[in-house]
Amino acid sequence: MDSILVKGGGALNGQIPIAGAKNACLALMPATLLSEEPLTLTNAPRLSDIRTMTELLQSLGAEVTSMQDGKVIAMSCHGEINTRAEYDIVRKMRASNLVLGPLLAREGHAEVSLPGGCAIGARPMDIHTDGLAKMGAEIDLRDGYLYAKAAGGKLKGAVIDFPFASVGATENILMAATLAKGTTVINNAAREPEIVDLADCLRAMGAQIEGDGTSSITIQGVDSLHGATHQVVTDRIELGTYMLAPAFCGGEVELLGGRIDLLEAFCEKLDAAGIEVSETDKGLKVARRNGRISAVDVTTEPFPGFPTDLQAQMMALLCTAEGTSVLEEKIFENRFMHAPELIRMGARIDVHGGTATVHGVEKLKGAPVMATDLRASISLILAGLAAKGETTVSRVYHLDRGYEHVVAKLRGVGADIERISTK
């Protein structure tokens, strides 16, 4: 099992290219199931989750070809469709559930295993299935599979009021509604940039969608969708992660392709902590102001609030802040599993339920630590870059699901980091 060895102490300077968004690409890929014509995605990230979605779509009958070193994904779903998404594939990744809506919309029925992914909370499917039921789907859970069938063979438009702004449910219903009969309105819809990106792609395929980026989305169903080519939006989580690197270590790093509008709430916290963010003609430039960073309080919220997927990285940074910070996690339970590992590095953190209190220390110390999930993996690597001595992060297979070429990107700006393969 591979591990990452990090030696801390050096400032970081240079440029880091930011990939296309994993969470956007994983929603865009199932959209190929909605059309018999080709869908091509450019600026795709090169990640194990993308390979898993490729495997899933191929098992359903789609043709999927990776080109230009994985940055372009060409898909076509013109043949016979298999409507059963098997457990052996779906269990690897939460986003696998995003084939449910498209399969129901195109074929009128689907059998989809309950999904897997990082162990950061229950994240139930109820909100997905309740929305589809309002569109006329009959859904039964048996033996770990969702058996779904559209009454009369076709979904119907409906007004769907989500109890909370679920990104995955918004994406599933949005795709399903494009081919439904009549008009669908999603109230309390998620507003994330990945939702807007999916809507842009679906519109390029001929869908009629209004209101994406707001809390109410209206979709007028059409008879069919055609092919399209679409560029995947910049990964705001990878962007935010690498924006923190010079905040940990000092120096100045330019994030190629970065945009402040993707992370406004995050950038506000960086400014309050003493980190300078400026726009360039190529992206964003980040540098720490003089001295230690200042403590700030953070509450995770749906977009446009502070992203839950940057909470672990921010906690690691605040471990060395001057003062005491309070982080409140409101999106997922069980998402402070990185705290005990940071404590092994000398951090002072008290966790009570969904709240973590971080008392800043002057310096972290290198230590052997274990990654518990995707975002915890990168937070421990960043902490290691700023720590005194060596840090070994084990169980980094999580990392490959969400960050491409981490070692190369950080080495490119001067980090002393290497991946160690063990047999």
Over residues 36-76, the pLDDT tens digits come to 999 999 999 999 999 999 999 999 999 999 999 999 999 99
Tens-place pLDDT, residues 303-333: 999 999 999 999 999 999 999 999 999 987 7
∠ CA 172-157-127, rounded to 5° = 40
Catalytic residue, from 25, 77, 118, 267: name it: 118
309 is in an annotated binding site: yes
d(CA 371, CA 310): 15
Q: Which CATH architecture has domain 22-231?
A: Alpha-beta prism (3.65)
d(CA 371, CA 394): 6
118 is catalytic: yes
Q: Domain limits of the chain?
A: 3-18+235-420, 22-231
Give yes or no on whether 3-18+235-420 and 22-231 have one common fold: yes
pLDDT band for position 119 (cuts 50, 70, 90): very low
**Is pLDDT above 70 for 375?**
yes
How confident is the model at residue 220, as a pLDDT? 98
417 is in an annotated binding site: no
Was domain 3-18+235-420 assigned CATH 3.30.479.30?
no
- Among candidates 211, 283, 286, 282, which has minimal Cα distance to 247? 286
**Is pLDDT above 60 for 200?**
yes
User: What is the arithmetic mean of pLDDT over 227-246?
Assistant: 97
**Is pLDDT above 50 for 118?**
no
How confident is the model at residue 17, as a pLDDT? 97
d(CA 23, CA 397): 18
Q: What is the mean pLDDT of the chain?
A: 94
**Is pLDDT above 70 for 423?**
no
User: What is the arithmetic mean of pLDDT over 156-184?
Assistant: 97
How confident is the model at residue 116, as a pLDDT? 54
23 is in an annotated binding site: yes
Say how far residue 54 (Cα) sits from the centre of its chain.
Answer: 17
Q: Contact at 8 Å (CB) between 255 and 284?
A: yes
**Is pLDDT above 90 for 290?**
no
How confident is the model at residue 121, as a pLDDT? 40
How confident is the model at residue 422, as a pLDDT? 74
∠ CA 241-247-248, rounded to 5° = 90
43 is in an annotated binding site: no
350 is in an annotated binding site: no
